[in-house]
């Protein structure tokens, strides 16, 4: 089961039979930069570049809390980031 964005990216990379170095090159990153992105909290620009190379889409949604009331701005909004492959099963 995929539980992180990094895992989703790595699974898709393996399906496409690409090396980390090749994905990094195509996304305009160093291999070390790519590996750091997988381990950490990547910048949206970096994540977008890698996802474009791998044919993945980033989607951010605001969850509707129970009771139908949105949290106050000071409480922070909770979002969900998912990555899905185009045409993937």
Residue 72 sits in a domain of what CATH number? 1.10.260.40
On the CB side of 53, CA atoms within 13 Å amount to 26
> What range defines the domain where residue 62 resides?
5-85
- Is the overall model pTM greater than 0.85, yes or no? no
Once rounded to an integer, what is the mean pLDDT over residues 53-65?
Answer: 87
Q: 21-50 burial by CB neighbour count: b if 16+ within 10 A, else e?
A: eebbeebebeeeebeebbeeebeeebbebb
**Amino acid 54: pLDDT:** 97
Give the residue with greater pLDDT, 77 vs 34.
34
Once rounded to an integer, what is the mean pLDDT over residues 6-34?
Answer: 96
- Distance, CA of 33 to CA of 13 (rounded, Å): 16
Binned at pLDDT 50, 70 and 90, residue 73 comes out as low
Domain count, the chain: 1
């Amino acid at each position: 089961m995929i539980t992180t964005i990094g895992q989703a990216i790595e699974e898709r990379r393996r399906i496409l039979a690409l090396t980390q170095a090749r994905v990094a090159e195509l996304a305009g990153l160093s291999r070390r930069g790519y590996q750091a992105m997988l381990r950490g909290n990547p910048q949206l620009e970096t994540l977008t570049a890698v996802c474009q190379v791998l044919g993945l889409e980033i989607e951010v949604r605001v969850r509707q809390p129970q009771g139908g009331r949105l949290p106050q701005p000071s409480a922070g909004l909770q979002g969900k980031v998912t990555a899905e492959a185009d045409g993937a099963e």
